[in-house]
Structure 1
Amino acid sequence: MNTISLRAGGLLTGARDPAEAFWADLRAEAEAAARAEPLLAAALHGAILAHASLDDALVHRIAGKLAAPELPALALAEIAATAHRADPGLATAAREDVLAVKARDPACERLFQPLMYFKGYLALQSHRIAHWHWRQGARETARFLQMRQSEVFGVDIHPAARIGRRVMFDHATGVVIGETAVIGDDVSILHGVTLGGTGKETGDRHPKIGSGVMIGAGASVLGNIRIGDCSRIGAGSVVLADVPPRKSVVGAPARVVGDAGCDCPAKQMDQRFAFQGEGI
């Protein structure tokens, strides 16, 4: 694949800003992994070490993953690069998402691993690119990216859905997020979660997830309802009504069983529920 450069000149010399420091640390970890496991060196070089910035690496990683006979990797790389060149916030969000995964997922031992291996991270970054194109009016391009994201990663996010910063999709298989859904900052979503509608209604019909929320595996949050900041939704719950801030809900249909138990459940990732009053 030809390189489509996003940053002229690569890393700067002298004082480094946070983005440069982050990329240098990520590359150093990838280099160490390549030395330790030489049979993986070529893959690490193609995905990370051949690139001058996170933007470059991410654009080509997503293009390689989502390439299809009708839209090859080089064309997809240009689609992704167009978004990243126009919106520097995409690279910032991508960096913050890596740090969120590293902080919250004990299975993530190195900074380069989400970019290399974690489909939840790659699906989220491909959605951010699709969302940028959707907002520019390139709706069919956005829909194509959604289709390939769903086929390759098993994560189906409508390109119109709005997703904040420092978000983690843990495992991610089977995550479905509808068109008018909104997700705040510092949210953690486990596998099998649906943020969907309740039928054939049109218009604003999907959930609004506050910041700091943790949504457990297999939970369904349905309809134009609001999940308050820093709340917890238990695994397998079916949420059909608003959830107050800083509360824990479980069950089908879900009901409040106590406080959230901490300031930011999405960061704590504690899925044990100490019920107050009678159990569910």
Structure 2
Amino acid sequence: MARAAIMASDSLWQSIRDEAQRVVSADPVFGRAVADAVLTHDDFAAVLANLIGRRLGGNADERERFTVFSREAFRRHPDLIDAAGRDLQAIAHGDPAITGLLPPLLHFKGYVALQAWRVSHWLWRHDHHDAALLFQNEASNVLQVSIHPAATIGSGVYLDHATGIVIGAAVVIGDDVTILQNVSIGRGSEMPTRSPRIGHGVFIGAGATILGDVSIGDFAKIGAGTVVTSDVPAGCTAVGNPARLTNCPEPASAA
């Protein structure tokens, strides 16, 4: 698994370098920033670690601290880099306004927030809880994305616009999920408290709230402003407050 992750990241890294070199040749002014952010580094992991440090750190010491934590996490768990690559490719393939890998890598705060969470999650699982919560706090303050380090998130995930996103500690999110701005996913008020489980390929619209012991099935859609407190079957669309189901596949509609 680690070997496959390294090979995949190497291929992605070459694509990023090629794109960066084309930008440097075409636009010498912006190219200087691209060269500093990309071409001065040896690999994709180094670019990501530096990016996280620069976005989360308020001063040189803080930038170095976040960079070192990130670099160590990527070195010890190469699958983090594979997931980061899948996240980046999901944006490039799924957003019609994107024409390459560099714009989301360098400019989309949702992307760097998610990679900062991946580092925090690794820290949390290795009992570095204070450091993990520091990542969460700074991502919340600077990027307006607060994801608890104990959450579980798959790969190919796109935090689109990424402002006002809150994801709680026990939330589980599958692969290829898109989450828009001002979304809250977390525990409800029931006892015992449990958190949502979001399936693969789910789309969650702006301002949606998903609370409590609920399951969102694969490829379901949650409409903008929807409040979900009960299960949404696979393939269904949930809209409104409280949520009601529409456009369900035949078996789910019959049920």
Give the structure-1-normalised TM-score. Answer: 0.83
Once residues 118 and 260 of structure 1 are traced to their aligned partners in structure 2, the CA distance between those partners, rounded to angstroms, is 34
Secondary structure at 2:239 match in 1: strand
1:8 match: none
Contact 1:232 1:260 in 2 (8 A): no
- Deviation of residue 69 (structure 1)? 4.7
Aligned length: 246
The 1:202/1:24 distance shift into structure 2, 3 A limit, reads farther
The residue identity in structure 1 corresponding to 2:245 is V
Distance 2:211 2:60 in 1: 35
Distance 1:156 1:48 in 2: 27
Q: Is the 8 A contact 1:230 1:260 kept in 2?
A: no
Q: Summarize the alignment of residues 1-280 of structure 1 with structure 2, pairs less than 5 Å apart.
A: 17-69=7-59, 72-199=62-189, 205-259=194-248
Kindly provide the amino acid, as one letter, of the partner of residue 129 in structure 1: V
| Aligned residues of 2:8 and 2:82 also touching (Cα < 8 A) | no
Moved more, 63-72 or 109-118: 63-72
The alignment yields a C-alpha RMSD, in angstroms, of 2.0
Q: 1:79 to 1:176 in 2, by over 3 A?
A: same
Q: TM-score, normalized by length of structure 2?
A: 0.91
Identity of aligned residues (%): 41
The Cα shift of 1:202 comes to 7.5
Residues 1:71 and 1:182: Cα distance change in structure 2 (over 3 Å) = farther
Q: CA deviation at 1:21?
A: 2.2
Q: CA deviation at 1:82?
A: 1.2
Q: Judge conservation of contact 1:19–1:95 (CA < 8 Å) in 2.
A: yes
- Aligned-partner residue type, residue 167 of structure 1: V
Structure 2 gap ranges (5+): 1-5
Greater helix share, 1 or 2?
2
Post-superposition shift, 1:97? 0.6
